[in-house]
Amino acid sequence: MKAKLLASGIALALLTPLTALAVNNTQMTQDNGAPVGDNQNSQTAGPNGPTLLQDSHLIQKLQRFDRERIPERVVHARGVGAFGEFKADKDISNLTIANVFKPGTVTPLFLRFSTVIHSNGSPEELRDPHGFAIKFYTAQGNWDLLGLDEPVFFIRDAMKFPDMIHSLKPSPVTNVQDPNRYFDFFSHQPESTHMLTRIFSFRGIPASYRKVDGYGVHAFKFINAKGDVTYVKFHFKSRQGNEGYNVEQAKVEQGKDFNNLTDDLYSNIKQGHFPIWDLYIQTLTPDQLNNFRYNPLDDTKEWLGVPETKIGTLTLNKIPENFFQTTESAAFDPSNLVPGIEPSEDRMLQGRLFSYADTHMYRLGANYQQLPINRPRVAVNNYNQDGSGNQGETKGDVNYQPSVEQGSVTDNPAYKATRTPLSGTVQQELITKTDNFEQAGAYYHSLTPQQQDDLIEALGGELQKVKNDSVRQTMLSHFYKADATYGTRLAQRTKDDVNAIKVLAEKLKD
């Protein structure tokens, strides 16, 4: 009965009473609602005869068991989620028409934390970037903000994303993650220096998901009622602070509980210790984009020196009642935007706009947005048709547009895409202002002496495993270019010639 109700499209809010059916001695049924007479013994031909194919309950039970797993996410496979709400508290109507930011508005949401590279079921103390993905169920439709616990990323162009993930994933030969492979890749991507420095610091192994910040990473566009464009970055700042493990601490914690991040989040919510993040934004006008040494639309860069403004608060307050139906089935798409928010020209974001939705269609089916966890809390009116798992309950003969019979509103000038001036020609070129190293050096100097020591130990220890001298020394030159002290200490840790690394660094372009 539970499965039948879910398949008919019952709203997410009704999941609680449905779940209760399984624990209140209610009559067990098959998927078609027929009562089950015996869930302990199969039908057989006599006491010693073979099992009968006519035992529809047995057949269905085995069929459903054989199909319990869906394809694992290629990235962000290990995750934990919770429900909550976002409350807007500052009027930014001069920047955007998005009503999620109207002061006093409370928007329900689902937030999924995750690791990026490691598989589902892997220990949560492994070093990794960590996802911070939010689905806002707004009155204008779902807005998905897919971010990380870091403000930057490894690469700036989606063309390199499959290659990067392939290098970071286990070897296709040994099925073991190998620094020889991923440093080989990153030695050709100097823009990765900043993110690598952050990941091998204490931030790469969080001690608690409550104690990480969340960043949108990419620049987006705010659009106001006049059609004016403002570039924006999002930063969810944890009121619980930031805390992470060094290498030795992570080993100890993994031995105690390799599910520590999930256990910590859920136990605190159960106790009423609801974690809170304040949302801050940074904004730039289009004519300010050229005021920096770097390109502000490069996702390997922070907007250093650009002030932040607090505009609201996010609170997590409810644990999902079923992992698969929520955390595992949640599908976050950067293409899920609402009026007043548009993508920027960030090259990495532009690729993600396609890739994430396409991934979910493969993993969950064409109608994945009709699943309760993904379904908007507003009416959906479109002419998409059929496909596996369709629960749209569409009616009528008209499944096309325009139509005099339908009479629906299809065009609204207020919600049209912003008219953006274009210039230049079609090209395939690197951005002009790369500035690959400066921010990595600035981050190194922002760490405490102990955190710097831990970074040298963690990153130097992995670099020491790289057998190819050219790859290892190229990586060391990137870190030396970011900061001479930083690079020197790493070279000493790996027992490489510091002077040789310095010479390589001097040949690098900013």
pLDDT digits (tens, 9 = 90+) for 294-324: 999 999 999 999 999 999 999 999 999 999 9
Q: Is residue 186 part of a domain?
A: no
The predicted model gives 116-124 an average pLDDT of 95
Residues 485, 339 within the same domain: no
The two tokens of residue 34 are 């027929």
Which residue's structure tokens are 């009416």? 379
Residues 129, 221 within the same domain: yes
Residues 99, 241 within the same domain: yes
402 burial class (0-12, 13-18, 19+ CB within 10 angstroms)? exposed
Three-state secondary structure of 322-365: CCHHHHHCCCCCCCCCCCCEEECCCHHHHHHHHHHHHHHHHHHC
Which residue's structure tokens are 């879910």? 6
The predicted model gives 203-226 an average pLDDT of 97
In 10 A of CB 265, how many CB atoms? 21
d(CA 88, CA 99): 9
The domain total for the chain is 3
Q: Is residue 321 part of a domain?
A: yes
Residues 29, 88 within the same domain: no
Q: Is residue 96 part of a domain?
A: yes
Q: For residue 408, what pLDDT is reported?
A: 59
In 10 A of CB 168, how many CB atoms? 21
pLDDT tens digits, residue range 261-299?
999 999 999 999 999 999 999 999 999 999 999 999 999
128 φ, ψ to 5°? -175, 155
Query: Does pLDDT of 214 surpass 70?
Result: yes
The two tokens of residue 8 are 């008919």
Query: Does pLDDT of 389 surpass 60?
Result: yes
Q: Is residue 46 part of a domain?
A: no
Give the domain-ending residue among 339, 370, 401: 370
Residues 30, 127 within the same domain: no
**Domain CATH code at residue 267:** 2.40.180.10
Q: For residue 102, what are the CA distances in angstroms to 138, 145, 424?
A: 11, 18, 38
d(CA 275, CA 41): 47
pLDDT bracket for residue 400 (50, 70, 90):
confident
* CA-angle at 247, arms to 467 and 243, nearest 5°: 135
d(CA 82, CA 80): 7
What SS3 class is residue 372? coil
Which residue's structure tokens are 């999902």? 320
d(CA 382, CA 412): 15
The two tokens of residue 414 are 């207020």
Residues 143, 287 within the same domain: yes
326 φ, ψ to 5°? -120, -80
pLDDT bracket for residue 453 (50, 70, 90):
very high
Domain encompassing residue 33: 2-39+53-66
What SS3 class is residue 23? helix
Give the domain-ending residue among 311, 346, 370: 370
User: Do the bridges between strand 276-284 and strand 229-238 make them parallel or antiparallel, or are there none, so unpaired?
Assistant: antiparallel
Give the domain-ending residue among 370, 391, 410: 370
Residues 273, 127 within the same domain: yes
Residues 59, 102 within the same domain: no
Residues 340, 487 within the same domain: no
Residues 258, 293 within the same domain: yes
Q: Which of 357-366, 389-398, 464-473 has the highest mean pLDDT?
A: 464-473
Residues 61, 86 within the same domain: no
Q: Is residue 282 part of a domain?
A: yes
The two tokens of residue 333 are 């798409």
pTM: 0.91
225 burial class (0-12, 13-18, 19+ CB within 10 angstroms)? exposed
Q: Is residue 35 part of a domain?
A: yes
Q: Is residue 490 part of a domain?
A: yes
pLDDT tens digits, residue range 133-157?
999 999 999 999 999 999 999 999 9
Q: Is residue 448 part of a domain?
A: yes
Query: Does pLDDT of 67 surpass 80?
Result: yes
Residues 357, 483 within the same domain: no
